[in-house]
A and B are shown apart, each in its own frame.
Chain A
Amino acid sequence: MIALREITRSSKVTPRQKESWVWSSLARFWEQPLGRVGLGIFLFLILFCFAGPMVYPADPFQMHLISILQPPSPAYPLGTNNLGRNMLARLMLGGQPSLEVGFIAATAAMVIGVVYGMVSGFVGGWVDTLLMRIIDVLRSVPTLFLMVFLDSAFHPSIMLLIVLIAFTSWHGVSRIVRAEILSLKELTYIESATTLGMSRMRILFVHLLPNIMATIVVAATFMVGDSVLIIAGLSFLGLGLPPPEPNWGSMLANAMAYLPQNSWWLIYPPGIAILGTVLSINFLGDALRKAFDVRLNRRG
């Protein structure tokens, strides 16, 4: 896998060839039906959450106490909750924090993970051993347990959530990046860069980083999906995003209290929204992985 990728990548020398590699990867991405479906669903969800409230300007906080727990009707397309609030408006608004925090947390985790993995793989020796041991420790602790403890010790806030997700999910990326760096740094072009007297920083960021970009993009895509799931899960437990703003996880938690009333319109829309987001992101990630991964294209 690495061998073929190395050959194709190290042969891309001139900028024009590099450009054509990006374009052909994008073309390979576009050839995949699941990738296109994923992109479509994802763009739709973004529009739904961020542009939706402008198209459908109902107040998500307005209580209609004469029409509580109403099933979907023309007046309330997705029904109302126990306080008579418009569920469609809440579904739109509830998606915003999930998506925003998901992006920011995933980006933060990626930055930590990539830098950590690059340093570990590039420096090697006892530094590498130590850094990897630290990851072993983090991998052996159940993430949710740590989050439950820290989240209940501090007051839930968006900042805390971002820090928690970044702190608990960077290490997967680090291991991938480290493995890539380990195989890349043995190549001739790195050796020649060292011989030419280039600084380690320059080799790391100018010569190695571009070569693991594809891996980073794919890993980052999946991480956004994972973060959305974590946020929803913690909010469902009453820990993630602070009230009173609605979010998909806390909407589901609220729906659980009204399960005996068979209020299906409270259960399905937020769940479908979370599922749709994560599903479309995973479709995107897989299509990107296939588009970038040289070996899979040749064999598959």
Chain B
Amino acid sequence: MKMIRYTLHRVLQAIPTMIGITLLSFILMHIVPGGPATVMLGDKATPQLIAQINRSLGLDKPIYVQYLIWISKLLQGNLGYSYSYHQSVTSLIALNLPRTLILVVSAIVISHILAILVGVFQAARKDTRFDYGITVVIYFLYAMPTFWLGVILISIFSIGLNWLPSGGISSPLNPNPGFVSYVRHMILPASVLILTTIPGWSRYLRSSMIETMLQDYVRTAHAKGLRQARIMIRHILRNSLLSLVTLIGMSLPGLFSGALIIEMIFNYPGMGLLFWTAAQNRDYPILLGIVTLVGILTILGNLLSDLLYGWLDPRIKYQS
């Protein structure tokens, strides 16, 4: 019962944040100079033509009216119609979101596994040469610019060794790549995202585990004569994993940002590339749709990880 009340409370709390996201993106997009009409017309732009296009796109109405129209459509699941693709935004996102999600989700899963392995071994061998060595590697990955890592991987694996493709997953010549081809196209972009996500998590896990090691119940476990590995995994890791779970939701915006650069480098047609093109064309419905969607995903991710945290850890009491 408490759980349900807490969930409801959190969902209600998320609503103002959601409205805030739509407001912020809507206002930002409409206060910048220029607009879709100037992009569409290019050199042929005249005040009359611009006004005509703005009227047909509904951009001549006051901004609050436009916002209310957009938000009432959004509540019906309608994200509007793209100016440049002449398709509904929902269908464009339905096409591109899965591709980005594969990238982001595989990065979350694989880098968690690797970060846990690295973090556990580092904590177990704290202050040894192994620990220092890995720490330096992690520092390097942490400071590594995503795009540079991408460029290096392309130069080594695509151009130097010719093992993996550097992009072009959905060229007109090859509209439906098979599974194997898809995976081959995924390896480099996913590796970049994974390698740049590991450091934050493994560093967090290492320090959290080292902190847990000082707890009394760990000393008790040692005193009981339990094996070191068992203590590390059953007593310490379990506790530290809990707090790692709460990081997933909040890491989504960062992962989407990372995906944008990666999609640009590898010419991988996902949400980032779609957003990029839409930004050049001032395709407001697409831009707003994507920002809103990522916002919803982040809020949902946060909510889920909070609830998961409470479910995993019986000590957490919910208070509204």
A interface residues (Cβ-Cβ under 8 A, vs B)? 133-134, 136-146, 148-150, 152-154, 225, 229, 232-233, 236-237, 249, 252, 255-256, 259-260, 262, 264, 267, 270-271, 274-275, 278-279, 282-283, 299
Contact = CB atoms under 8 A, between A and B. Distances in A.
A233 B259 CA distance: 13
Given A142-B257, A149-B279, A229-B145, A256 B294 contact: no
A236 B254 contact: no
B21 A140 contact: yes
A249 to B, nearest CB: 8
A275 B148 contact: yes
11 contacts: A133-B16, A145-B256, A149-B275, A153-B282, A229-B143, A232-B147, A237-B147, A259-B151, A267-B148, A275-B145, A278-B143
Given A153-B32, A279-B140, A142 B151 contact: no
Contacts of B16: 133
A149 B291 CA distance: 11
B175 interface: no
Nearest to B253: A142
Interface string B110-151: 000000000000000000000000000001101111111001
B253 A232 contact: no
Contacts of B294: 140-142, 145
Size class of the B contact interface (CB-based, 8 Å): 35 or more
B159 A141 contact: no
Contacts of B155: 259, 262, 264, 267
Contacts of A145: 256-257, 260, 272, 275, 290-291, 294
Contact of B276 (A148, A154, A270): A148
Interface string B187-215: 00000000000000000000000000010
B256 A136 contact: no
B20 A154 contact: no
Contacts of B77: none
B145 A271 contact: yes
Given A140-B253, A141-B294, A256 B151 contact: yes
A133 B20 contact: yes
Contacts of A146: 25, 28, 291
A187 to B, nearest CB: 24
A153 B34 CA distance: 7
A136 B145 contact: no
A299 B211 CA distance: 9
B162 to A, nearest CB: 11
Contacts of B146: 233
Interface in B155-192: 155, 159-160
B146 to A, nearest CB: 7
Interface string B8-49: 000000001100110011001100111000000000000000
Contact of B253 (A143, A236, A249, A271): A143
Contacts of B154: 259
B54 interface: no
B152 A133 contact: no
B151 A144 contact: no
B25 A141 contact: yes
Contact of B279 (A138, A152, A267, A270): A152
Contacts of A260: 159
B264 interface: yes
A141 B295 contact: yes
